[in-house]
Amino acid sequence: MKCRQRQYGLMKYVYLLNSLHDMNDSLNELRVQYTSTLQDYLEGGGEAALEHAYELGRKAIAEGLGVLDIASVHHDAVIRLIQCAPQESAHITKRAAEFFAESIAPFEMTFRGFQESIANLRDLNMALERSEKRFRSVVQAASDAIISTDSSGNIISWNRGAQAIFGYSEEEVLGKLLIILMPERYRDDYLRNLVQARSIRESKNIGRTFESHGLRKDGSEFPLELSIASWRTEEGIFYTGIVRDITERKQAEEALHRARDELELRVQERTEDLARANAELEQFAYIAAHDLQEPLRMISIFTQLLAKRYKGRLDKDADEFITYVVDGAKHMQQMIEDLLTYSRVGTSGKPFEPANCEAVFDQAVANLKVAIEENGAAVTHDPLPTVMVDTSQMIELFQNLISNAIKFRREEPPRVHVSAKIADNEWFFSVSDNGIGISPEFMGQLFKIFQREYVAKYPGTGVGLAICRRIVERHGGRIWAESEHGKGSTFYFTIQKYIEAQGTK
């Protein structure tokens, strides 16, 4: 081994001697050419000969000779020739000074640039150190755990947030495998993913934020939120994870879920109680109304017989009293019939089926033919859709709204118009008129049973609009009205869009 080292050293020495010999050969050759060229100048070759001498110097520098070597060549040539032409020494010296100033300038600039580069590099290093200190301060001050590992899963960076969350100090974890922070059930998957990431240089979890569980030093588990990033250097690939303890958030979510489940249960129980109470109330209303019909019918029949048989045979007051009884019996009978209709909306409704609303409109108008003709009303409509409804209840809904529009009229003939438009997943129907309108004070009572704005002037029981509301609600819709007193009203209601097997209407 030592013999080989000596041989290698000897070879280097021989190579160096040869290099020096080659350099001396080049320098001697330049010395001969340079001296000859200056000799030409002194013999009358002029500035061209002198310039040629300096061009030889530039070429030699370009080929690797140093400026000091060129200066040595110039010095030897001048000493040898100046004795022959002392009067030319000043000019040769001046031109030589210009040449060497020109030759040295790039080196001077390079040296200055080198000094500036060193200064800039020093400034950059200082700035980098300050930036690194700031970054480390931010990392250490973070309440989240910020942990870095190498490609083998060894922990290389650990901040105070990690210590607070996991319970380990920096000295306890640096160089340890990251799996010490994981419950046992996650470790095999982590190691497989780590091997896969090293082989394909990527991981499915990089750049994602997901939830998992962590393992504290004391052995307790906790829910966490984790974001992972990767970074590369000359030494390989590294990973940094930001871990957030989400125990409080999970506890709040669980409390919210429990409260929601409890509320849903209470709402369900309340809805069932309300549905049961409504069913019982509807049954009671139906039975009460049905049982009242027979005695009321007897009262009506006998009061009408009394009025027919004894009208004009008793005094004027008696005739007036009999009229009151007959009218009251008729009104009561109409109220009972309307109450029965109201109670049957939810109990005696038919199954929903596709119904063409234009046919529904035509049937409602036919049922109101007498009232339309007597009032000179004009009832029109735009194209109407097909919807999934209880057809008989839909006819009743149209009939009630059109009837009210004709009944609550002004002096001019009634004008009623029905239209429909689609919005989202609903049809919006409107029934507008040019009637007397509705006062703002009564809007809140409009769809309540037995509520009437004009009791004396217009006949009715105050049940019609309540029936309309129940029909619309049974079909999953809403009903409301807009009106300006003295200028007419528009009633709106919604019905779900009907979707056929082969299309949408």
> Do 226 and 279 have their domain in common?
no
The answer to whether the beta carbons of residues 286 and 340 sit under 8 Å apart is: yes
In this structure, are 162 and 97 located in the same domain?
no
- Same domain, yes or no: 342 and 358: no
Same domain, 58 and 176: no
Domain boundary among 211, 228, 245: 245
Structure-derived torsion over alpha carbons of residues 103, 109, 115, 121, reported in degrees to the nearest 10:
-130
Q: Is residue 383 in some structural domain?
A: yes
**pTM, whole model, 2 decimals?**
0.43
* CATH number for the domain harbouring residue 154: 3.30.450.20
Helices 464-474 and 391-407 meet at what angle, rounded to 10? 150
pLDDT digits (tens, 9 = 90+) for 131-184: 767 767 777 778 889 999 998 889 999 999 999 999 999 999 999 999 999 999
CATH of the domain at 413: 3.30.565.10
Last residue of a domain, one of 323, 347, 371: 347
Domain count, the chain: 4
Residues 439 and 340 both lie in one domain:
no
2: pLDDT confidence band, cut at 50, 70 and 90?
very low
In a domain, 130, yes or no: no
Percent of the chain with pLDDT over 70: 68
Look over the chain and give the mean of its residue pLDDT values, rounded to a whole number. Answer: 77
| Spacing of C-alpha 220 from chain mean position | 35
pLDDT at 397: 93
Q: Which has the closest alpha carbon to 243: 140, 154, 143?
A: 143
Question: Are residues 353 and 343 located together in one domain of the fold?
Answer: no
- Are residues 446 and 425 located together in one domain of the fold? yes
Q: What is the CATH number of the domain that holds 338?
A: 1.10.287
Residues spanned by the domain of 332: 251-347
Q: Where are the beta strands (DSSP E) in 319-434?
A: 353-356, 378-381, 386-389, 415-423, 426-433
- Same domain for 407 and 499? yes
d(CA 438, CA 100): 110
The proportion of the chain whose per-residue pLDDT surpasses 90, expressed as a percent, equals 30
Please indicate, yes or no, if residue 137 is contained in any of the structural domains.
no
Per-residue pLDDT reduced to its tens digit, 432-485: 999 998 888 888 888 887 777 775 577 777 788 888 998 999 899 999 999 988
Looking at the domain assignment, is residue 407 inside a domain?
A: yes
354: CB partners within 8 A, 6+ apart: 386, 387, 388, 498, 500
User: What pLDDT, on the 0 to 100 scale, is given for residue 386?
Assistant: 93
Pair (75, 217) in one structural domain: no
Q: Confirm whether 187 is domain-assigned.
A: yes
Give the gyration radius of the chain's Cα atoms: 54
Judge whether 125 lies within some domain.
no
Residue 126 belongs to some domain of the structure = no
Q: Are residues 239 and 285 in the same domain?
A: no
d(CA 101, CA 104): 5
Residue 133 lies in a domain: no
Residue of 377, 412, 405 whose CA lies nearest to 490: 405
Among 317, 347, 377, residue at a domain's last position: 347
Residues 301 and 188 in one domain: no
Q: Name the pLDDT band for 215 (thresholds 50, 70, 90).
A: very high
Q: Do residue 233 and residue 267 come from a single domain?
A: no
